[in-house]
Chain A
Amino acid sequence: MFSADVIDELKEIRSHYPVAKAAMVPVLHVVQREKGWCDTESQAWVAEFLDVTAIEVFEVVTFYPMLYDKPVGRHTIHVCRTVACDACGGKELWQHLEHKLGVGRGETTGDGRFTLRSAECLASCGTAPVLLLDGERHENLTLEQTDKLLESAS
């Protein structure tokens, strides 16, 4: 399922806790980094790795917005939706992206390149509007800058 290096990384994470189950979210982050999302097969693997049942992993995966229980595109965009961004261009940024990519909230473009998601407050309210591209923050975005940013992601 995973390379020896990844297994070592996961064992190191697991060793940070007196109870293996506590490594759940950090381990799932690594799984997601490797597989793109937390697929059922990986969830079963994590259950065994942490000595818990599959449903315990499922309960966690399905709770958190940043753990994906469905496949996503090669690049994931999270646009901040919350009030401070909304008041300072966030709404326009969202509409622009929906229009440009031709997808709605949570959807993936037909070519599998982008998944467009909204996020709740990304703690960058002073530099609104803000989005994450593959987890990296981009602030004070104009629509032109946003277009360039998307072009940089193949």
Chain B
Amino acid sequence: MIQENKVLSARFGTPDSCSIETYRRDGGYQTYVETLRSRQPDDIIDEVKRSGLRGRGGAGVSPGMTWSFVPKQTDKPKYLCVNGDESEPGTFKDRQILEFDPHALLEGVGISCFAFGASTCYVYLRCEFAEGIRAVQKAIKEAYEAGFFGKDIAGTGFDLDCYLHIGAGAYICGEETSLLNSIEGVRPYPRNKPPFPAVEGLWGCPTVINNVETITNIPHILKNGAEWHAKLGHADDPGVRLWCVSGHVNKPGVYEFETGFKLQDLIDGPCGGMRDGRKLKAVIPGGSSSKVLLPDEVARVTMDTPGIRALGSSLGSAGIMVFDDRTCMVDAILNLMKFYAHESCGQCTPCREGTPWVVKILQRFVDGRGRPQDMELLLDIAANMEGRTVCALADGACWPLTSIVQKFRHEFEAMIPSAKTSSGRTATAAPTGAA
């Protein structure tokens, strides 16, 4: 059995959950004020490090570790950017926090900024989140009025400004250095690292970029202690996560569980099994930029970083996309590769040229004109994209691509006219899409 442990989502069902009144009634902002009054910044960073929390945006870096890279002795202002550009296909968890508990995020913002000495926070939201934008905008206003942002917060002498910054529909802006360029008002091409943003970020000043869910974890860790957090779920990747399930299950949605559960139990239990009683064909487990899992892998994988790495995939942004046996995997990866081709910023040649080339080849298969050499060509293009670009967008495109070509080779072969398939059958007609 698998049971939800609602920490981040505990208030999602509360009437008027977005208002500062209900948030404070439920104990909100107490941890923030107590932390400002009684804790030292280094001590907070240490607490977050010891909690074992990994970033929830996809890369899985410890926020405590990132904060510790911010120079302490500097005359420059320091910045926090909250990454709410949530655009990884299959991922829709940050949106729930923004729409249902924006003050929980803002309390995390306050504590995080105090920990590494930031004086300004920009909450970066994608413009498609109309409802989340309204909720956060209102929450920021309320937090200012209540004295949680502004000058001399809670009489401690700590000053903090918090502003909303709205994007304009580009996936690349979720990449942390692209996000910085997006805020600076230039074309949002990712930057080379080093220098890392913690040292040179916005306008050359120390800047931390943390995901919405990551920041929302912070007040809970400060309130309950690092040891409490470290004991949730898997010891090497502890905590609760908001898992987004989509695709062909009966009950898709966002579920909050501690790490370490069995993926199969989530699908069969809370998600109500496969839709229409169909059979499972594949799962992309961590947002679209993760490697696909086959049913026998789904049956044994545990949802924690060590467990999923053992099968060569990753938890990424916890976007679990479930596909049933009607799905044409060639069609599915064509759809995804159109996404990457559209979202490639165009800065690096391997990605700018590689992603549309892959789309062209996959389209050929779907049109029933695949060639025997095309599978190797896809893998070859991927090998020349992966690791050869400024940011990880190309890597993220390659991982689902190569894993689907390797694990569903027979589906590609069936789309090669009159070719002998690996099973020795002669393919005559090409399947078109999810028929």
Q: Is B387 an interface residue (CB 8 A)?
A: no
Q: Provide the main secondary structure of the chain A interface.
A: mixed
Interface residue total, chain B, C-beta cutoff 8 A:
57
B390 to chain A, nearest CB (A): 16
Q: Which of A66, A78, A87 contacts B248 (CB 8 A)?
A: A87
Q: Is B395 an interface residue (CB 8 A)?
A: no
Residues of chain A within 8 A of B338, CB atoms compared: 81
Residues of chain B within 8 A of A35, CB atoms compared: none
Interface locus among B53-61, B81-89, B299-307, B405-413: B81-89
Contact residues, B146-188 vs A (CB, 8 A) = 161, 163, 165-171, 182-188
A66 to chain B, nearest CB (A): 3
Contact residues, A80-127 vs B (CB, 8 A) = 81-84, 86-88, 91, 119-127
Residues of chain A within 8 A of B165, CB atoms compared: 16, 25-26
Q: Is B253 an interface residue (CB 8 A)?
A: yes
- Contact between B183 and A123 (Cβ–Cβ < 8 Å)? no
- Contact between B332 and A87 (Cβ–Cβ < 8 Å)? yes
- Contact between B127 and A124 (Cβ–Cβ < 8 Å)? no
Interface locus among B215-223, B239-247, B354-362: B239-247
Q: Is A60 an interface residue (CB 8 A)?
A: yes
Q: Is A29 an interface residue (CB 8 A)?
A: yes
Residue of A with least CB distance to B162 = A16
Q: Is A4 an interface residue (CB 8 A)?
A: no
- Contact between A63 and B91 (Cβ–Cβ < 8 Å)? no
Q: Is B261 an interface residue (CB 8 A)?
A: no
Could you tell me the distance between the alpha carbons of A115 and B339 in the complex, rounded to whole angstroms? 21
Residues of chain A within 8 A of B88, CB atoms compared: 121
Could you tell me the distance between the alpha carbons of A40 and B11 in the complex, rounded to whole angstroms? 46
- Contact between B434 and A83 (Cβ–Cβ < 8 Å)? no
Could you tell me the distance between the alpha carbons of A86 and B337 in the complex, rounded to whole angstroms? 13
- Contact between B128 and A123 (Cβ–Cβ < 8 Å)? yes
Residues of chain A within 8 A of B95, CB atoms compared: 123-124
Could you tell me the distance between the alpha carbons of A74 and B163 in the complex, rounded to whole angstroms? 30
- Contact between A125 and B92 (Cβ–Cβ < 8 Å)? yes
Interface residue total, chain A, C-beta cutoff 8 A:
45
Contact residues, A12-36 vs B (CB, 8 A) = 16-19, 21-26, 28-29
Q: Is A71 an interface residue (CB 8 A)?
A: no
A54 to chain B, nearest CB (A): 14
Known contacts being A29-B168, A87-B327, A120-B171, is A18 close to B339, with CB within 8 Å?
no
Q: Is B252 an interface residue (CB 8 A)?
A: yes
Q: Is A72 an interface residue (CB 8 A)?
A: no
B288 to chain A, nearest CB (A): 7
Q: Is B336 an interface residue (CB 8 A)?
A: yes
B 303-335 binary contact with A (CB < 8 Å = 1; else 0): 000000000000000010101000100001001
- Contact between A60 and B187 (Cβ–Cβ < 8 Å)? yes
Residue of B with least CB distance to A67 = B168
- Contact between B89 and A121 (Cβ–Cβ < 8 Å)? yes
A9 to chain B, nearest CB (A): 13
Residues of chain B within 8 A of A18, CB atoms compared: 77, 203
Residue of A with least CB distance to B340 = A120
Residue of A with least CB distance to B400 = A83
Known contacts being A21-B184, A83-B90, A120-B87, is A125 close to B246, with CB within 8 Å?
yes
Q: Which of A26, A50, A60, A67 has the most CB of B within 10 A?
A: A26
- Contact between B186 and A66 (Cβ–Cβ < 8 Å)? no
Q: Which of B89, B127, B166 contacts A125 (CB 8 A)?
A: B89
Contact residues, A33-52 vs B (CB, 8 A) = 50, 52
- Contact between A22 and B170 (Cβ–Cβ < 8 Å)? no
B 101-137 binary contact with A (CB < 8 Å = 1; else 0): 0000000000000000000001000111111000000
Q: Is A136 an interface residue (CB 8 A)?
A: yes
Residues of chain B within 8 A of A132, CB atoms compared: 128, 130
Residues of chain B within 8 A of A16, CB atoms compared: 122, 161, 163, 165
Residues of chain B within 8 A of A84, CB atoms compared: 89-90, 246-247, 321
- Contact between A88 and B248 (Cβ–Cβ < 8 Å)? yes
Residues of chain A within 8 A of B433, CB atoms compared: 91
Q: Is B343 an interface residue (CB 8 A)?
A: yes
Known contacts being A25-B166, A66-B127, A87-B332, is A123 close to B86, with CB within 8 Å?
yes
A150 to chain B, nearest CB (A): 18
Can you list 23 A-B pairs with a CB-CB distance of less than 8 A? A16-B163, A19-B203, A63-B188, A64-B167, A65-B168, A81-B338, A83-B335, A84-B89, A87-B327, A87-B434, A119-B128, A120-B171, A120-B342, A121-B288, A123-B86, A123-B128, A124-B92, A125-B91, A125-B244, A125-B246, A126-B92, A128-B246, A136-B131
| Residues of chain A having any CB pair with chain B under 8 Å | 16-19, 21-26, 28-29, 50, 52, 56, 59-60, 63-67, 78, 81-84, 86-88, 91, 119-128, 132, 135-137
| Residues of chain B having any CB pair with chain A under 8 Å | 77, 86-92, 94-95, 122, 126-131, 161, 163, 165-171, 182-188, 203, 244-248, 252-254, 288, 319, 321, 323, 327, 332, 335-336, 338-339, 342-343, 345, 433-434
Other than A123-B126, A126-B252, give 15 A-B pairs with Cβ distance below 8 A: A25-B165, A25-B166, A25-B167, A64-B167, A78-B128, A82-B288, A87-B323, A120-B169, A120-B171, A121-B90, A125-B247, A125-B252, A126-B244, A127-B253, A135-B130
